[in-house]
């Protein structure tokens, strides 16, 4: 078996190239939108990419699944529950996908997303038992995936899915789809782990069932441009330009909370609050407009290009990412509110509700 992990620092994601040395067939799992690296590897190693699999519908980055399938003639595979507007080969729980002698067993692991799967890999030439699992956004290094739809239903599904993976032997290596980012609260940043290590040291897995459900049932802020990205990955829009903007590392000026009121007045600036609607309703900078970061790309018509814009969130992190995105798509007059609305309040500035 040939196995290669691709780490994508710009998204905090990992994708995988799995191939049979005997049949020269290969599969790419969770491909990123820039597909050339997979094509180059296949050519260099003389493999044929015959399968393209996404472990779930990604909501924080653009998938390269359709582009790679079109470029290679590979079969595009998703779990049967995947809600998309393009053809794919449906995968079912317990199904075995083969690459020559390699067996990839599909394990339906809903929670992060209803269609989420993990792939348990066995290479019979080496061992009749599985040696690794591609865990998607179900099990991370030091964390578990956060249910996209939140609440009791998502938490219960995630708990059951993680327990299914923990039935694997301790020595089974775990390769997740994320090594950092918004999909988990406490990922440690290492790109792989083992079932045994996570069973013993993953802090979320040490929680009681009740505490696990309480922890993972909290609805997290939706990722930056989630609405446009998910629509693209479902085949219901073409927002490929969003990826270029999100990859921007443009320098964004910051405005301190103490200086912000005078800066806003002097620049006649519009304050754009990118928190979730309930956060905004609990208190915000006076006259700010609410555009959640998840919907930003779809609501750019509400962000003026001929006026200074100050982007705000809770603590300054989400707003920095949103401001960099705005810079990346051509907004030159944008700044970030340092330390967010927490800093604004601590500085004694007024708040509207």
For residue 181, what pLDDT is reported?
61
The C-alpha R_g of the chain, in whole angstroms, comes to 22
For 328, residues 6+ apart whose C-beta sits below 8 A from its C-beta are: 244, 245, 246, 247, 248, 250
- Is the separation of the CB atoms in 309 and 322 below 8 Å? no
User: What domains, with CATH codes, occur in the chain?
Assistant: 2-216 (3.60.15.10), 229-346 (3.40.250.10)
Active site includes 313? yes
Q: Which one of 13, 183, 188, 313 is the catalytic residue? A: 313
Per-position DSSP letters for 267-297, written without gaps between them: HTPEEEE-S-HHHHHT-B-TT-EE--GGGGG
Predicted TM-score of the model (pTM): 0.93
Per-residue model confidence (pLDDT) at position 184: 53
324 contacts: CB under 8 Å, gap ≥ 6 = 248, 249, 250, 252
The structure tokens 């980055």 sit at 61
Q: pLDDT tens digits for the chain (353 residues)? A: 999 999 998 888 999 999 999 999 999 999 999 999 999 999 999 999 999 999 999 999 999 999 999 999 999 999 999 999 999 999 999 999 999 999 999 999 999 999 999 999 999 999 999 999 999 999 999 999 988 766 788 899 999 999 999 999 999 999 999 987 655 566 777 899 999 999 999 999 999 999 999 888 777 788 999 999 999 999 999 999 998 898 888 899 999 999 999 999 999 999 999 999 999 999 999 999 999 999 999 999 999 999 999 999 999 999 999 999 999 999 999 999 999 999 999 999 999 99
CA distance 140 to 194: 10
């Amino acid at each position: 078996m040939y196995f290669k992990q691709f780490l994508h620092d710009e998204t905090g994601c990992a994708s995988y190239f799995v191939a049979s040395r005997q049949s020269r067939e290969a599969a790419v799992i969770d491909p990123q939108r820039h597909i050339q690296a997979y094509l180059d590897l296949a050519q260099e190693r003389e493999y044929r990419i015959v399968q393209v699999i996404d472990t779930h519908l990604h909501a924080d980055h653009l998938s390269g699944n359709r582009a790679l399938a079109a470029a290679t003639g590979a079969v595009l595979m998703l779990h049967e529950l995947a809600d998309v507007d393009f053809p794919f080969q449906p995968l079912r729980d317990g199904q075995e996908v083969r690459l020559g002698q390699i067996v990839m067993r599909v394990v339906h692991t809903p929670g992060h997303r209803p269609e989420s799967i993990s792939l348990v890999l066995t290479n019979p030439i080496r061992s009749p038992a599985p040696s690794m699992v591609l865990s998607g956004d179900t099990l991370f290094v030091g964390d578990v995936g956060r249910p996209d739809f939140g609440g009791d239903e998502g938490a219960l599904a995630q708990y059951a899915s993680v327990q299914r993976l923990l039935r694997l032997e301790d020595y089974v290596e775990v390769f997740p789809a994320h090594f950092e980012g918004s999909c988990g609260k406490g990922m440690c940043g290492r790109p792989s782990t083992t079932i045994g290590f996570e069973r013993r040291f993953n802090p979320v897995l040490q929680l009681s069932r009740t505490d696990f459900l309480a922890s993972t049932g909290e609805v997290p802020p939706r990722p930056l441009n989630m609405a446009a990205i998910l629509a693209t990955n479902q085949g219901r829009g073409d927002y490929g330009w969003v990826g270029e903007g999100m990859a921007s590392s443009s320098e964004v000026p910051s405005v301190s909370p103490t200086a912000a009121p005078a800066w806003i007045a002097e620049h006649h600036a519009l304050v754009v609050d990118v928190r979730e609607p309930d956060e905004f309703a609990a208190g915000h900078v006076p006259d700010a407009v609410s555009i959640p970061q998840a919907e930003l790309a779809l609501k750019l018509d509400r962000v003026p290009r001929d006026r200074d814009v100050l982007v705000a969130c809770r603590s300054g992190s989400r707003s920095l990412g949103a401001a960099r995105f705005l810079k990346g798509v051509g907004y030159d007059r944008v700044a970030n509110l340092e330390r967010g609305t927490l800093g604004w309040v601590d500085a004694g500035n007024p708040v509207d509700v």
